[in-house]
A and B are shown apart, each in its own frame.
Chain A
Amino acid sequence: MSQQKRVLFRSGWLPWVLLAPQAAVIGMFFFWPASQALLQSLQQQDAFGLSVDWVGLDNFRQLFNDSGYLASFRTTAVFSLLVAVLGLGISLLLATMANRVVRGAMVYRTLLIWPYAVAPAIAGVLWLFMFAPSIGVVSYGLDRMGFQWNHLLNPDHAMALVVAAAVWKQISYNFLFFLAGLQSIPRSLLEAAAIDGASPWKRFWTITFPLLSPTSFFLLVINVVYAFFDTFGIIDAATQGGPGKDTAILVYKVYYDGFKAMDLGGSAAQSVVLMAVVVVLTVIQFRFVERKVNY
């Protein structure tokens, strides 16, 4: 695709007018705040906002010496890994099955995609309600089976709860992309393999799965980004980062330190670290997209 139009309109002022609204909005609410985050991350402000000192990289040094922050990194890693792997696995299974059945594929699709419309915070509330230790349906069922469920006390239970809610919400998205990917695989390849006597199981692992790898990789990045940033609502509604700090992912900690604990410098430094993480993820994604174009 050409990057430029051959025929263009000529006007000295019109393009500026057209760009003005967008430039104003991103300037005021994107570039200004982002640069403020960078500045604040190098400053130390007292609790009343009366004095500001330049402290260089102290905030970052403190951050990476803070065992709480490192623990939050670990929590985020575990959380996003679980969300991505479980979410991708389950959706791939469902998409493969939906791609197999001739009848009703569209009905299944409609019935599987609606959780995309559910707000993360609402998803958190729904799952919290099912698993509430004293009144929840599922926790009651588990109790009857002899399993004591209490995500208010047990960090593993709390993690399982937020992972389940996050995966539940993301299945629809992954499912749609996997289904589209499966439908674009040439049928002649699968038919040729079938004639050669390859079983469906074998066909899946030697043909379908490798040909799906661009889709899978793309979804992996998207799911990690989702787990990092879009799950704040789930965590805040279901566990509030608890018990202790065991489900406080990085975004939750930025919010907590900046707005509850009022540590602006520390919160800004965390924002900068998060921005770096996003940039790295985006670069990975774009390198991959380029490769797919050449593919």
Chain B
Amino acid sequence: MVERRPALTLLSHLILVLGVLIVAFPLYIAFVASTHTADAIVQAPMPLVPGAHLLENYQAALTGSGTGAGSNAPVSRMMWVSLVCAVLIAVGKIAISLLSAFAIVYFRFPLRQLFFWAIFVTLMLPVEVRIGPTYQVVADLHLLNSYAGLTVPLIASATATFLFRQFFLTVPDELVEAARIDGAGPMRFFRDVLLPLSATSIAALFVIQFIYGWNQYLWPLLVTTDEQMYPVVIGIKRMISGGDAANDWNIIMATAVLAMIPPALVVVLMQRWFVKGLVDTEK
């Protein structure tokens, strides 16, 4: 602070608290709704303090024993599908990107520039603009309703490759020279020098990609038709059908809270890497 202005500081805190409250309000309402019976919620106005049905609602959601008008698939299965997809997308993207960035930075070979630009172009076009043809490819390969179909097309982007390339370019050349004098081959150098040096970048990228994978919506909506393969974000949408009162809103909101917990935990607990990951991937 440049100078002391108590009134202004007070105002700052007021605005911030107000901001925090408004941002948290939808979450609070969802949590409250997940602790009441479905009947209590549809009688407007719904209660604004938590009720006594927390455990049974979450249990009903997880085991799929709800009785709403829409889908009543068990959420525990959906959470598992989401987790597998998010981890596969994050790990897969990081693994193939580390290898290709290593090749592009540390080797000189024909068509190197072409490869670099080919990868670079994929930065621009999100999967949303090419859903139709990508869907056809996945359908032709019989990958609908499979983990491969859910994850591999989302791995096809170059954010991570680009990031690792930038990072490798900053690694001092002396390290390569030293490794070569010691008789280490390229893969040895990659494993024993480059990978340990990239640890923080990998962690940062993992956080961002995990959230990206967990929150996918349009793509899983297209390639999953089997209840067994719904990620939780899709599953919750399929629980809502028909009019306002026909849905088990308590179960839906319990599912929403469950679906938010893993990525929110990752963001809050790994905040340092999360911030680094955001800043790195956009530069």
Contact = CB atoms under 8 A, between A and B. Distances in A.
A119 B271 CA distance: 18
A7 B181 CA distance: 12
Interface residues of B, number: 111
A33 B130 contact: yes
Interface in A91-145: 93-94, 97-98, 100-102, 104, 108-123, 125-130, 132-137, 140-141
Contact of B125 (A8, A11, A275): A275
Contact of B236 (A122, A274, A278): A122
Contacts of B122: 26, 30
B217 A233 contact: yes
Contact of B19 (A3, A94, A141): A94
B16 A14 contact: no
A271 B130 contact: yes
B264 A237 contact: no
Given A5-B169, A120-B217, A278-B126, A180 B266 contact: no
B108 interface: yes
Contacts of B226: none
B237 A121 contact: yes
B199 interface: no
Interface in B40-99: 41-42, 44-46, 48, 95-97, 99
A176 to B, nearest CB: 6
A218 B282 CA distance: 9
A229 interface: yes
Contacts of A40: 132-133
Interface string A134-175: 111100110000000000000000000000000010011100
B267 A116 contact: yes
A268 B266 contact: no
Interface in B211-230: 211, 214-218, 221-222
Contacts of A120: 215, 217
A25 B268 contact: no
Contacts of B221: 236
B109 A100 contact: no
Contacts, number: 307
A263 B112 CA distance: 39
Given A114-B267, A121-B236, A32 B137 contact: yes
Interface stretch (A54-62, A77-85, A250-258): A250-258
A281 to B, nearest CB: 8
Nearest to B10: A101
Contacts of A129: 29-30, 33, 249, 252-253
A119 to B, nearest CB: 4
Contacts of A12: 109
B194 to A, nearest CB: 11
A14 B107 contact: yes
B125 A19 contact: no
B198 interface: no
Nearest to B261: A117
Contact of A5 (B27, B105, B268): B105
B153 A29 contact: yes
B260 A122 contact: yes
B260 A26 contact: no
A222 interface: yes
Contacts of A114: 264, 267-268
B130 A25 contact: no
B115 A190 contact: no
Contacts of A108: 16, 20
> A-B pairs with the 9 shortest C-beta distances?
A119-B215, A33-B133, A36-B133, A117-B263, A233-B217, A18-B103, A15-B107, A22-B100, A29-B156
16 contacts: A8-B108, A8-B176, A9-B189, A14-B103, A18-B99, A21-B96, A26-B122, A29-B155, A101-B13, A118-B263, A119-B214, A122-B236, A230-B128, A232-B128, A254-B128, A279-B124
